[in-house]
A = this chain, B = another copy of it.
């Protein structure tokens, strides 16, 4: 197996004298973790900028989020290819294997969160110079933005620290997003709604995009919890679509 355990180009350092293959593999796993944190931080920025663009009708900011999503997609492909290299060349087992497979899955979840940020930015761009969010729902979507940014920031920190208290906080943010999502329907269907059809459509889709951030954050929180405790409550949160 030694032949299969040489360092992977770009993954960790080449073997030094006195450096065990285990040291090299640990370095590669650590690098994988750093890449996930970097991807999460980029998604966090996209979610923050998309919400600001939506709430302030900031066209250049919306455009930059839309452009940057290509970079997030590239990070996922790069990370996945390196996971496959790790599987092929290090052939990890047990916990090491689950760490690599989890990285594959979490990168896909982060990529979806980036897509949702892009969709929000696209709505902001489509309504510019107008505002997509009508006044009666401005405070609700400001709260949704704040909760989504918390989910993203906590996800980044969780991936870097594996502090399960943060995982629990992400689940609370998800509950908050679900409640705020319900609020949007209460406003739309409560009888007093006078918004246009376009506003109704936008609010319906934007509410769903924001609610999904919580589901994806919980999905990552569950995977990290699983890696730390070895117990998987349930593979995914009750998905909302």
Contact = CB atoms under 8 A, between A and B. Distances in A.
Interface of A: 1, 73, 76-77, 80, 84, 87-88, 91, 93-94, 97-98, 101, 104-105, 108, 111-112, 115-116, 119, 185, 188-189, 193, 197-198, 200-201, 204-205, 208-209, 212, 235-236, 239-241
A108 B111 contact: no
A197 B205 contact: no
A88 B209 CA distance: 37
A71 B228 CA distance: 27
Given A87-B97, A91-B91, A197-B200, 15 more contacts: A77-B235, A84-B98, A88-B93, A105-B108, A108-B108, A111-B236, A115-B241, A119-B240, A188-B197, A188-B201, A189-B197, A189-B201, A201-B204, A204-B205, A208-B241
Select the residue from A76, A198, A205 with max chain B CB neighbours within 10 A: A205
Contacts of A91: 91
A101 B98 contact: no
A209 B204 CA distance: 13
A115 B239 contact: yes
A7 to B, nearest CB: 17
Contact of A241 (B94, B119, B240): B119
A200 B189 CA distance: 11
A241 B69 CA distance: 12
B236 A73 contact: yes
